Amino acid sequence: MTAEAAFEEINEAKANLDYIYDEPDPRNYFGELGKLDYAIPDLAKPIFQKLISHLRYRKNGTIHVLDLGCSYGINAAMLKYDLSMSDLYHHWGNEALLGATAEEVAAHNREFMRDLDEPADIEMVGIDLAASATAFAKDAGLLDEDIVINLETDPLPEVAKEKLAPIDLVTSTGCVGYVTEKSFDRLLPAVTQGQAPWMGNFVLRLFPFEPIAKSLSEWGYVTEKLEGQTFPQRHFSSTEEQEQVLEQLCERGIDPAGQESEGSLLAEFYLSRPAEDVARCPIEQLLSA
Ligand SMILES: C[S@@+](CC[C@H](N)C(=O)[O-])C[C@H]1O[C@@H](n2cnc3c(N)ncnc32)[C@H](O)[C@@H]1O
């Protein structure tokens, strides 16, 4: 089976949530994902913040982050504005907003953003194929730049290469699986134009990261997995989804007993950095410092 066919088969085991990914605002995103306790951006936040604080030692000034599968700017809200998922569920998943017009939602949002503290010195670029979601994130000021593209099928346009030249850190939550090594192959020439960025990906145990790690290794990267730690991404949406996922895990030789069998999809953290950075400070030391 090709890697592409394997990813497709794994994706079929998961509930299809595509209908909430590309709306004019994130009310349904938070409404639906709130029911499933979608939590991975919250769990990723302290790790990404730690990476950013290390990167500040090697560079003065603004840290440039590329969030892959950025959606409505969720990781940007966590990292730039120090928000939590509970803030976002409260703000955008709020039932009082359900019947609101687009103008009312926009006004509510402007008020919300106006009351936030000064953002961290981070510039956020987001890539996603969902044009309405990234437009929302850009209008809200969560993203500084958005690139609407499906790198699984299309090459990176010339104009995007300029936006990606200064990237220091690539992040993703809930995205690997939708994207494969094909997207990374298309991104790598653009993001490594200057200093090679670090790449932190939270990846469901369901999906193999090896094909992406192999692509990255061709550009001088070494990938480390944070051992002994899993991160609950969300609850299963149904017993059927859970059964299908457990079956897929077993087929991949991963034992779900006491793990996904308890009711949640679990992610792991992979950090890819230039070989010399890994030699200087391995992942456990980096994240405990
Ligand atoms: C589960 S959501 C995660 C969103 C966000 N990172 C979070 O954790 O809340 C998956 C995101 O991946 C995006 N996506 C799916 N296929 C993609 C592709 N081929 N390229 C870029 N983004 C993609 C979807 O539009 C959606 O925004």
- Its domain, for residue 59, covers 3-288
Q: Which residues pair with 266 in a beta bridge?
A: 232
- Confirm or reject: Cβ of 73 under 6 Å from ligand 1: no
Residue 11's pLDDT is 84
Distance (Å) from CA 111 to ligand 1 centroid = 27
- Confirm or reject: Cβ of 179 under 6 Å from ligand 1: yes
What is the rounded distance in angstroms from the CA atom of residue 109 to the CA atom of residue 115? 10
Instruction: Output DSSP code: residue 120.
Output: P
CATH classification at residue 252: 3.40.50.150
| pLDDT tens string 46-103 | 999 999 999 999 888 999 999 999 999 999 999 999 999 999 999 988 888 888 988 8
Instruction: Output DSSP code: residue 148.
Output: E
Domain count, the chain: 1
CB 39 within 8 A of CB 85: yes
pLDDT of 263 higher than 90: yes
Picking from 205, 265, 207, 267, the residue whose alpha carbon sits closest to that of residue 237 is 265
Q: Which residues pair with 126 in a beta bridge?
A: 67, 146
Q: Kindly report the CA angle at 243 between 237 and 249, in degrees rounded to 5?
A: 110
CB 259 within 8 A of CB 200: no
Residue 2's pLDDT is 65
- In sequence order, which residues have a C-beta less than 8 Å from that of residue 137 and are 6 or more positions away? 70, 71, 72, 73, 76, 126, 143, 146
Q: Which of 76-90, 93-107, 143-157, 210-224 has the lowest mean pLDDT?
A: 93-107
- Confirm or reject: Cβ of 21 under 6 Å from ligand 1: yes
- Confirm or reject: Cβ of 82 under 6 Å from ligand 1: no
- Confirm or reject: Cβ of 126 under 6 Å from ligand 1: no
To test the ligand 1 pocket, which listed residue (18, 79, 178, 201) has its Cβ within 8 A of the most ligand atoms? 178
Picking from 73, 52, 83, 85, the residue whose alpha carbon sits closest to that of residue 144 is 73
Among protein residues, the one with the nearest Cα to ligand 1's atom 14 is 69
Type and span of the H or E element at 255: none
Rounded CA Rg of the chain = 18
